[in-house]
Structure 1
Amino acid sequence: MAQLRVLPSLLLLISAAASSTSATNSEGEALHSLRTHLSDPTNVLQSWDPTLVNPCTWFHVTCNTQNRVIRLDLGSSNISGNLGPELGRLKHLMYLELYRNNFDGKIPEELGNLKNLISLDLFGNKLEGEIPKSFSKLKKLRFLRLNNNRLTGSIPRALTTLSSLRVFDVSNNDLCGTIPINGPFPNFSVQSFENNSKLNGPELQGLVPYDFGC
């Protein structure tokens, strides 16, 4: 009888392990898919082997105790190419560090799916287009650095709902319109917005917050 009671517990453990493996395989597939359209002249990503059980043994990838990817560190790695929507599949990601590379193209809207993200560092690349409005879904985000890119358009007013945001830097882009005055924005320094020739300063109190000047 004791053996019969042990059996369901064993099956539950096997099922949980299989579920965890499936999740990490999915994250590994997402990262490998991203790698396929990146240029990596110094072979920083050579350990990203899709035949391994999960990506937790890959360089520049950090996992938690459940083998879920929580950190991606590729800063200053001389990588170029587009950031694909695959990144949005890393649901447990907390830190995305892609600064000082040669990434170009638009920032994927899918990054707004990373609900656990605390830090997003994309500064020092060649990214174009607008700041995704989907970033407003990143309620745990504390650090957002997009400076020194080629971003255009206005600062999305939806970002004023990010009450956890402590650092915000969009300097040295080509943004336009006005700087929001609600939410965390009054706490950010002038330097966070400098060298955007079409950005006209804080919006005036009492006016409808719109993309003036864009």
Structure 2
Amino acid sequence: MMDGPCNINVLFIFLWLLTLANVDLCISSAFSKIQCIPSEREALLKLKHHLSDPSNRLSSWSPHGINCCSWEFVVCSDITGHILELHLTTLPPLQLYETSMFGGELHSSVLDLKHLNYLDLSGNDFGGMQIPAFLASMASLTYLNISLAGFDGSIPLHFWNLSNLIYLDLGGNYFEGSIPYQIGSLSNLHFLDLRNNYLNGSIPHQIGNLSNLVHLGLRGNDFNGSIPQEIGNLSNLNYLQLEGFSQFSKDGYVPMSTYVENLHWLSALSSLQYLELIHVNLSNIIDWL
């Protein structure tokens, strides 16, 4: 039988271990019940107030809901509680698709989501409004999808300063004007899609600076001039889709002013799996074929 001091030591060690276990349980419980940041919750409520939501898909975004991390379409950090992602897309096969689309105004309260890195507004109808210029200051974004969302006008120049972007999809809107040379600063991009807009002018040669690019979609625009040979620098590219300006005649659509001086740059695209050149004048490169 152990003497008194031994019993006391054993009891002390037992209580110490039990205390450690309780601390671990408290920490685990705290992390499992992460609450969203109050200021970010208010930002979401303001954002909802300015959006139109005809089918009430944002019903969980309520002033009575304390933890916005549990709200639909919202993803928070499991550690900090900061909002990281907003999935506000509307895509088929939702029933009554057109009456489910978000619209209205994209409010500047989204700027209060300082840690937001993923924003998807695709498949909605913002009624021809311009891209809000304040989006260009959301430096934390790595994923931005506003395709098929009813945006109009020109793409804000400072928009191309979002240097952390990995994924950018602006396709299927009504954007006009040319692609500025500043696009070459988005060196982290893996995916760039500008299809089915009304962009014109020449494709800037700085697009060849996007060395990480895997997908480049430029179909459905009115580009003119020479396709830049610098596209050949995109050694990781596996999807390339280009379309030039054309005019309809009795013989069908005829390429007007988009051409290639040669196709030798294609030989450098060793990862390319899909190539589509539409309404591009190839008359000067028969010897390459």
Alignment of 1:126-137 (within 5 A): 126-137=150-161
Give the 3-state SS of the residue equivalent to 2:219 in structure 1: coil
1:98 aligns with 2:121: yes
Deviation at 1:164, TM superposition (A): 0.3
Report 1:33-182 matches (<5 A).
33-64=46-77, 65-76=79-90, 77-104=100-127, 105-182=129-206
1:133 to partner: Cα distance: 2.2
Q: 1:70 to 1:189 in 2, by over 3 A?
A: closer
How large is the Cα RMSD of the aligned pairs? 2.7
CA contact (8 A) 1:171 1:193 kept: yes
CA deviation string 1:73-99 (max 9, x = no partner): 011151122222222222111110111
Indicate if the aligned counterparts of 1:82 and 1:106 stay in contact, CA closer than 8 A: no
d(CA) in 2 for partners of 1:41 and 1:149? Answer: 21
Aligned to 1:184: 210
- Aligned residue pairs: how many? 185
Decide whether the 8 Å contact of 1:152 with 1:173 is kept in 2: yes
One-letter amino acid of the counterpart of residue 177, structure 1 = G
- 5+ long unaligned stretches in structure 2: 1-33, 91-99, 230-256, 258-289
TM-score by length of 1: 0.76
User: In 1, Cα distance between the equivalents of 2:75 and 2:212?
Assistant: 34
In 2, the alpha carbon distance for the partners of 1:55 and 1:129 equals: 33
CA contact (8 A) 1:72 1:95 kept: yes
SS at match of 1:195: strand
Relative contact order (alpha carbons < 8 A, sep ≥ 6): 1 or 2 greater? 1
After superposing on structure 2, the runs of 4+ consecutive aligned residues of structure 1 that deviate more than 6 Å are: none
Distance 1:202 1:185 in 2: 20
Task: Say which is worse superposed, 35-44 or 82-91, in terms of deviation.
Answer: 82-91
1:25 maps to a residue whose letter is P
Decide which structure has the larger Cα Rg and report it: 2
Residues 88, 112 of structure 1: 8 Å contact kept: no
Inter-partner Cα distance in structure 1 for 2:177 and 2:104 = 22
Could you say if the C-alpha distance between residues 175 and 45 of structure 1 is closer, same or farther in structure 2, counting changes exceeding 3 Å?
same
Alpha-carbon distance between aligned partners in 1 of 2:105 and 2:226, rounded to the nearest angstrom:
32
Distance 1:67 1:138, change over 3 A: same
Identity, in percent, stands at 36
Distance 1:92 1:186 in 2: 24
SS of the aligned residue for 2:37 comes to helix
Equivalent pair of 2:191/2:215 in contact (CA under 8 Å): no
- State TM-score, norm by structure 2: 0.58
The structural deviation recorded for 1:168 is 0.8
8 Å CA contact 1:110, 1:134 repeated in 2:
no
SS at 1:193's partner residue? strand
Match of 2:38 among 18, 25, 28: 25
Residue 127 of structure 1 aligns to which amino acid in structure 2? F
Does residue 1:196 correspond to 2:221, yes or no? Answer: yes
Q: Secondary structure at the match of 1:32?
A: helix
